[in-house]
Homo-oligomer: A and B are copies of this chain.
């Protein structure tokens, strides 16, 4: 069971969490719990570290910010004991959860489960501080934002857990953003692959790396609300499972959007071998993440227009980099637009069904929405459109793929 920051925001919330853990214990389950820092605490610690000068030493940054989860693990253990559930806290270094030495974004290398298993067999609930581990140099490391999800999945894999329940402030994964698409419905099941696409497309329910880890280790994940009554299999959350476990697969599972997009077009790029590398090399060197790329067919065989997208926050930097090598690259001008949105339909079913992309294009055309860029993967189609169409397009696509709640 993993509980995020809003689920452990104060002692009242921790008391509610303890009740959920107790219910699982009373069902005869052996439970390991992973906790985040109380909401707001990590931000405060990060602000202090930045004020002190965090850029100087990520070792110390980690020593500071890891304290938030440590406190929560002790507090939840107390709340459990108060209602008669034997429990103890475990810090990353106590287990230990061994990581590499990439402080601030460390990767888990190994988890020694011997002591945790002994504790579970003695019917003592293990309350584990998420987000942290121990480096080969015996320093405290952190796994980066959302790292507690990764701790939970890695532990579930190491302990061969029957389930890994991620309790959050939403009650599952939806077919679209319910704030925009009021007829969005909660999915009972979704595949790892789809969840991975949804997470990387901006659905903030689970951290991308934790989904990857769950997929690679076939950890049965479940997304649940910590604010609802009930626990585990009683709660109607969303299960994240392997494709073969979904009997009746919908063709499309969700329609998502991302506003963190900006479009750049380079006009009249010379059409010769190596020009793409010459453009995207410098952007990559500057840590600008290029996403969708379209190269128009050149009309006269000598020059072409090249369009691609970058995160909106990196647009200025990207234009600067491009301007600096304009003469080398030989394009005439660059045109940019950050009033764009990326819409995506996701579904493993599109592997075996034709016409999925075409339905998207037809639906947008019906509503006179112009498509600026298209990109596809095996289980996802994304289009870039003007931002003003976000709500209209999202609702239209949701209806067109038969996702509306009845």
**Interface code A49-64, partner B: CB below 8 Å = 1, 0 otherwise?**
1011110110111111
Question: Across the two chains, which residue of chain B brings its CB closest to A38?
Answer: B48
Q: Which of B73, B75, B76, B94 contacts A138 (CB 8 A)?
A: B94
Contact at B71–A64, with CB atoms within 8 Å? yes
Question: Across the two chains, which residue of chain B brings its CB closest to A127?
Answer: B60
Contact at B89–A77, with CB atoms within 8 Å? no
Given known contacts A48-B11, A59-B88, A138-B94, A64 and B75 CB-to-CB distance under 8 angstroms: yes
Contact at A88–B60, with CB atoms within 8 Å? yes
Please name all residues of chain B whose beta carbon is closer than 8 Å to the beta carbon of A91 when the two chains form the complex.
63, 140
User: Majority SS of interface residues in chain A?
Assistant: helix
Contact at A82–B56, with CB atoms within 8 Å? yes
| CB contact list, A18-69 vs B, under 8 A | 45, 48-49, 51-54, 56-57, 59-64, 66-68
Given known contacts A52-B14, A56-B82, A78-B56, A89 and B63 CB-to-CB distance under 8 angstroms: yes
Q: CA of A191 to CA of B60 in the docked complex: distance in angstroms?
A: 39
**CB of A257, distance to nearest CB on chain B (Å):** 38
Please name all residues of chain B whose beta carbon is closer than 8 Å to the beta carbon of A88 when the two chains form the complex.
57, 59-60
Question: Across the two chains, which residue of chain B brings its CB closest to A138?
Answer: B94
| CB contact list, A183-214 vs B, under 8 A | none
Given known contacts A14-B52, A52-B11, A138-B94, A70 and B63 CB-to-CB distance under 8 angstroms: yes
Of A48, A59, A78, A89, which is in contact with the most chain B CB atoms at under 10 Å from its CB? A78
Please name all residues of chain B whose beta carbon is closer than 8 Å to the beta carbon of A51 when the two chains form the complex.
11
Question: Across the two chains, which residue of chain B brings its CB closest to A68?
Answer: B67
Q: A270 in the interface, Cβ–Cβ < 8 Å?
A: no
Taking Cβ atoms with an 8 Å cutoff, the residues of A that contact B are 11, 14, 45, 48-49, 51-54, 56-57, 59-64, 66-68, 70-71, 73-79, 81-82, 88-89, 91, 93-94, 138-140
